[in-house]
A and B are shown apart, each in its own frame.
Chain A
């Protein structure tokens, strides 16, 4: 829980800077800038380096691109992970007070099964909504993280084009955001019907 709170409270960009200072500068383990070292750049198939390196069986490139993924993902993901932790915890607390959990215990099920099978299924319902929204948000790109880690991403593109008054680009990216949001919500709704049999599409 402490981790969860820290994750929400630390602004993502500051966390990124801290991680850079700690890992890359002082400990020199993880790479800081860019998506992959120039020497390892895989052949361009899809444009996504991890996928390309798997497809072209370029294992050094795979390792390198994965390493480059670690720090940005942690800075971006810490806050989101914290949000999910919080929501899941509070819905679990509510679910564990319910009568059907007591029934499951009365049936003689082990505590592990009670929690993972009976309680979790029900607690995931509100959590999945949040996850869906977050996926939409994350795919939308976070400009600051991209700037800090030097990833040429959608966020940076949009902001630059806003400043340059390049409106067609802004239009296109707005369309893209809307599309992702709708897709994420649709996925969440479909998952919902699987989790909660009372709802139908």
Chain B
């Protein structure tokens, strides 16, 4: 195969670079590559706008999401006959504005997705790194436990736990994290095992570095890219899972707007007022799609770049 050797110009040779400058350079290069990959950039923009809208919800939403108005019950969106411009995307079965509910619902979904991934990612990576590095009984027990957790369908497991602890935002997060750390555990453990055979780990050990230092300073930066990709993709998954749970009436309780429960309440009106179910679903679709595009783009950027470096 052709091996191309692309070197940087020698002009940087005599300048001392502090660590901070190197990281900033990398971030800039990363952003540049992100812009180059158009789908990922689109995904990133959409996600950021969703997050922004969610944060600024009280200022952006045209109506109070909880305010019911029987007069405007089941009003269609503005492009269909009978719709008005005050209720841009229509109203649900007790007259609440769908657009505002979607905006507030975005808060819930995004929060659930991000927090769950953050907590379970952190925990799973930590446990997985230690399990993969030290092996032995610790690893064996954890892996069996992880396999055990994996053998249940996700939704049913979540429903089961929900029925025990009851609904609510905090409970939801705990339950989701309960099963989700396993993915991160497996990935970090697998990567740790394969990285440990590489020579730079041997070199670090020969230099006398403590194991913990090796894990965090040497190996973790090398596996973080695949972990990041996994994290991004899992966010989308958890948003959908949260929607499924609220669709079933568990998780976030009404009247707090959540996209899943909106879809559920529209089920009875599928034939007459289809927008009550469809439009929140479209919002979900767009958000998760953008997150997935971003995740894929991240994978494309981070993986081959590391091979070139």
Contact = CB atoms under 8 A, between A and B. Distances in A.
Nearest to B243: A11
Given A5-B292, A18-B281, A25 B270 contact: yes
B152 interface: yes
Interface in A114-161: 133, 136-137, 140-144, 148, 155, 158-159
B150 to A, nearest CB: 7
A193 interface: no
A17 B153 contact: no
B97 to A, nearest CB: 20
Which of A17, A148, A163 has its CB near the most chain B CB atoms (within 10 A)? A17
A14 interface: yes
B55 interface: no
Contacts of A20: 270
24 contacts: A5-B289, A5-B296, A9-B285, A10-B281, A10-B284, A10-B285, A11-B281, A11-B284, A11-B285, A13-B247, A14-B277, A14-B285, A17-B267, A17-B270, A18-B281, A21-B271, A21-B278, A99-B1, A141-B153, A143-B159, A144-B244, A148-B267, A181-B150, A182-B151
Nearest to A79: B240
Contact-residue size bin, chain A (C-beta under 8 Å from the other chain): 35 or more
A33 interface: no
A14 B152 contact: no
A162 interface: yes
Interface of B: 1, 150-156, 159-160, 163, 236, 240, 243-244, 247-248, 263, 267, 270-271, 274, 277-278, 281, 284-285, 288-289, 291-293, 296, 299
A178 B160 CA distance: 16
B289 A143 contact: no
Contacts of B263: 13-14, 17
A163 B159 CA distance: 9
A8 B292 CA distance: 8
A102 interface: yes
A144 B249 CA distance: 12
A40 interface: no
A133 B270 CA distance: 34
A14 B281 CA distance: 6
A19 B224 CA distance: 39
A56 interface: no
Contacts of B154: 137
Contacts of A141: 153, 156
B284 A174 contact: no
Contacts of B267: 17, 148
Interface in A94-128: 99, 102
Contacts of A70: none
B74 to A, nearest CB: 16
Given A5-B292, A21-B274, A99-B1, A140 B156 contact: yes
A73 interface: no
A6 interface: yes
Which of A14, A90, A143, A162 has its CB near the most chain B CB atoms (within 10 A)? A14
Contacts of B299: 90
Given A10-B285, A17-B267, 15 more contacts: A6-B289, A8-B236, A9-B236, A9-B288, A11-B288, A18-B278, A21-B270, A140-B156, A143-B248, A144-B155, A148-B267, A174-B152, A177-B152, A177-B153, A182-B151
Contacts of A159: 156, 159, 248
Contacts of A17: 263, 267, 270, 277-278, 281
B248 A6 contact: no
A47 B205 CA distance: 62
A143 B248 CA distance: 10
Which of B151, B160, B270, B274 has its CB near the most chain A CB atoms (within 10 A)? B151
A20 B150 CA distance: 31
A77 to B, nearest CB: 15
Contacts of A148: 267
